[in-house]
Structure 1
Amino acid sequence: MRIAILDDYQNAARRFADWDSLDAEVTVFGWPIGDRSEIARALAGYDVVVAMRERTKFDAEQLRLLPDLRLLVSTGTRNAAIDLAAAQAQGVIVTHTRYVSHPTSELTWALILAAARNLPAEERAVRTGGWQQSVGMSLHGKTLGVIGLGRLGSAVAKIGQAFGMNVVAWSQNLTAERAGEHGVTAVSKEELLSTSDVVTIHVLLSKRTRGLLGAEELALMKPGALLVNTSRGPIVDEKALLEALHAGAIRAALDVYDIEPLPADHPLRAAPNTVLTPHIGFVTDDEYRIFYGDAVENIAAYAAGAPIRVMTP
C-alpha cells in the first residue's frame, strides 16, 4: 500500500501519528502540488491519499485522473472540496476524521485582541528600537456581533461575555430562544452590523453565505469597527472589503482567503488596517493529533476490510 499525505505545510504528520504501524510506503507532500495534471502525475500509483481539509480539490475530473486511488481520507468531519458522489461512482472510499472547534475559537480571540490593541505594529516597534505607537481599543462594554451562533460561534460569544462585552448574534435560522440559551441577544443582520464594535463570522460557506457581506453590508458597519473572519474567505466579498479597508472605514482580522495559500502579490498583503494570519485556526497540537491519529486508524481499518468514518453523498 502506498500512502500520500498532502499539504503538510509544517511537516507535522509524522510527528503526530504512528505511521510506522501501517504496512505501507508513506510520502509527505509539504506544499500544494499544482494543477490537475500535476496532481495526477504526482499521485499516480498511490492507493491512499490523506487530504488536509479543503486544500486540494477532488472533483469528478480530478478523481477520474487518479485511477489507482482506493481510499481518500479527509481531515475534519466535512469537506466541500470532495465530490462524494463521483468518488462513490469510481469505487473510492472517502473517510473523515474527528474535529474539535476550540482551536479556532481561541485564534478568533487572538485576532480580536491583536487588532484591538494594535499588537503587530507595537511588537515591530519594540524590535526596531521604537516604543509606543498607537492607542488601543478596550473591549469591556463594547458590542460583539456574532454571525452564526453554532458550536464555534457560541464559544466565541462566551469569551466575549467574559470580557464584559454585550453580545448580539444573527444567522438566517437563529431564534430568540436559541440565542437566549447562550445569554445572547438575537438581532437582524442590519442591526448587528450597524451596532457592533467587533463583527466575527462563524457560518459555513454555502450558496446562501457566499458573498454574505458585500459592499452594502460593510457600509453598515460602524466607522473603525473590526471585522474578523476565521470561517471561509468567500463569505466576504473581497473587492468590497479591500475598498473599505483602503478607505479607512473599517478594520479586518483575517485567517481565511478566497485563494489559499494567499499569492505573494495579493493586494490583501499590503492592505492597511489589517491583521493577517495564514489559515491557522485549526493548526494546533490537539487538532493534529486527532487528524493524523484518526487518519492512521482509518487506513488500518480499510486495510482490514472494515472501513470506519465513511462519508457518503
Structure 2
Amino acid sequence: MLRCAVLDDYQGVALGLADWSRVRAESFREHFGRPDDLVAAIRDCEIVVAMRERTPFPAELFDRLPNLRLLVTTGMRNASIDLAAAREHGVTVCGTGSISTPPVELTWALILGLTRHLVSESAAMRAGGPWQHTIGTDLHGRTLGLVGLGKIGERVAAVGRAFGMDVVAWSAHLTEERAAAAGARLAPDLDALLSGSDVVSVHVVLGDRTRGLIGKRELALMKPTAYLINTARAAIVDQDALAAALRAGRIAGAGLDVFDLEPLPEGHELRTLPNVLATPHLGYVTELNYGTYFREAVEDIDAFIDGAPIRVLSP
C-alpha cells in the first residue's frame, strides 16, 4: 500500500473528510518550516497532499524525495510548486477544485472590521473599557477599488454595490465592457485607482507581472484615510513597504490574510500594529472548501493508482 502524507492539516480534519482506505495516510498538523524536517517526515512517502502554498516544493526538494510519485495540491493553481522540476523527477502533480465564495466573505469581514473598528470596540467591551470610543467610516457613497476583477473580484464588487459604493476596477487586460458587466467602472490605470479609492482590495493572480505590483510608490498614492485589503497573495504587495506606510500612518489601515512567511512569526509588527486587522490565511478555510479539497484529493489519488491521473497540472 502506498504511503501518503497530508501536510499542514492545522485543524487535524483531513483524514475524516474523505475515504483514504487505498493508501496508508498520515496527517501532519504541524508546519515543517525547515526543509530538513520536512524531508525527514515524508521521505518514504510516494504520495504527498499539500494544502495550497503552505509548504513550497522547489526544485531542490524533489531531489531529496526520490520515492515521491504523486503530489496533490488543493486548488488548481500553486505558485510554490516547481512543476517543471516535478516533471523532470517523474512526479505527477494534480489539483482539486475550490470554491470562490469564502475569500469574498472574508474580504468583507476585513473591510467591515476595519472601517467600523470592530476589534478595538469588542476588546473594550470584554475588558470593561470605554463604551463606544471610535467613529466608523461610512461605506455608502465611498469608492471601492478592485485590483483584479476575476471570479472573486466580481463577487466583491457585487457586495460593494449592495452597500451603495462606487466600484472601480483595474487589471492589465481588463476592458470597459468586462468591467461594466461586473457593475464596475474601469480605472484608467492602477495609479488612478489607488489615488481615488477609499478601500482598495487586491484580487489579481500572482505572477511575474503582478509580483510587487503595489510597492512604496503605489502606497504613497493612496488617500491617508484609505484602507488596503489583501486576501489574494502576499507577494503582490511589498510587505515591508506596507508595514512602513502603516507604521507612519500614511494610510488608515490594512486588512491582511496573506503574508510573505506563513505562519507569520511571533512578534512580527503586522501582528501588533493597531491599524492592521490580520487573519491567519483563513480565506479558503471553510467546511465546504475543505470538503471539496480532501474529497477531490482522494479522487486524484485513486485515479493515479488506477493508472489514469486526473486534474494534472502542467508547467
TM-score by length of 1: 0.97
- Any idea what the Cα deviations from partners look like across 1:74-101, whole Å, max 9, x if unmatched? 1001111111111112111111101111
What CA distance in whole angstroms lies between the structure 2 residues aligned with 1:153 and 1:50?
28
RMSD after superposition? 1.1
What CA distance in whole angstroms lies between the structure 2 residues aligned with 1:239 and 1:59?
24
- Any idea what the Cα deviations from partners look like across 1:198-256, whole Å, max 9, x if unmatched? 00000111121111111111111111211000011121112211121112121101001
In the TM superposition, 1:96-245 aligns within 5 A as: 96-130=95-129, 131-187=131-187, 188-245=189-246
What letter matches 2:14 in structure 1?
A
What CA distance in whole angstroms lies between the structure 1 residues aligned with 2:153 and 2:43?
41
What letter matches 1:217 in structure 2?
E
- Any idea what the Cα deviations from partners look like across 1:180-215, whole Å, max 9, x if unmatched? 111210012122111111000001111211111111
Out of 234, 247, 267, the residue aligned to residue 265 of structure 1 is: 267
Offset of residue 116 of structure 1: 0.8
Q: In the alignment, what sits opposite 2:86?
A: 87
SS in 2 for 1:112: helix
Offset of residue 46 of structure 1: 0.7
> Does the aligned pair in 2 maintain the 1:13–1:292 contact within 8 Å?
yes
> Does the aligned pair in 2 maintain the 1:170–1:189 contact within 8 Å?
yes
SS in 1 for 2:62: helix
TM-score by length of 2: 0.96
Q: Where do 5+ consecutive residues of structure 1 fail to align?
A: none
> Does the aligned pair in 2 maintain the 1:149–1:170 contact within 8 Å?
yes
What CA distance in whole angstroms lies between the structure 1 residues aligned with 2:154 and 2:33?
37
Q: In the alignment, what sits opposite 1:278?
A: 280
> Does the aligned pair in 2 maintain the 1:195–1:221 contact within 8 Å?
yes
Offset of residue 37 of structure 1: 2.1
What letter matches 1:243 in structure 2?
A
Provide the identity percentage. Answer: 53
Q: In the alignment, what sits opposite 2:67?
A: 68
Would the alpha carbon gap of residues 126 and 299 (structure 1) be closer, same or farther in structure 2, given more than 3 Å must change?
same
Q: In the alignment, what sits opposite 2:15?
A: 14
Equivalent pairs counted in the alignment come to 311
> Does the aligned pair in 2 maintain the 1:228–1:254 contact within 8 Å?
yes
> Does the aligned pair in 2 maintain the 1:245–1:272 contact within 8 Å?
no
What CA distance in whole angstroms lies between the structure 2 residues aligned with 1:176 and 1:23?
50
> Does the aligned pair in 2 maintain the 1:246–1:272 contact within 8 Å?
no
What CA distance in whole angstroms lies between the structure 2 residues aligned with 1:97 and 1:190?
36
What CA distance in whole angstroms lies between the structure 2 residues aligned with 1:29 and 1:184?
43
> Does the aligned pair in 2 maintain the 1:73–1:295 contact within 8 Å?
yes
What letter matches 2:202 in structure 1?
I
- Any idea what the Cα deviations from partners look like across 1:153-184, whole Å, max 9, x if unmatched? 11101110011000001111111111111121
Would the alpha carbon gap of residues 23 and 183 (structure 1) be closer, same or farther in structure 2, given more than 3 Å must change?
closer
Q: In the alignment, what sits opposite 2:248?
A: 247
SS in 2 for 1:26: strand
State the 4+ residue runs in structure 1 displaced beyond 4 angstroms.
Answer: none
What letter matches 1:144 in structure 2?
L
What CA distance in whole angstroms lies between the structure 1 residues aligned with 2:222 and 2:94?
41
What letter matches 1:259 in structure 2?
L
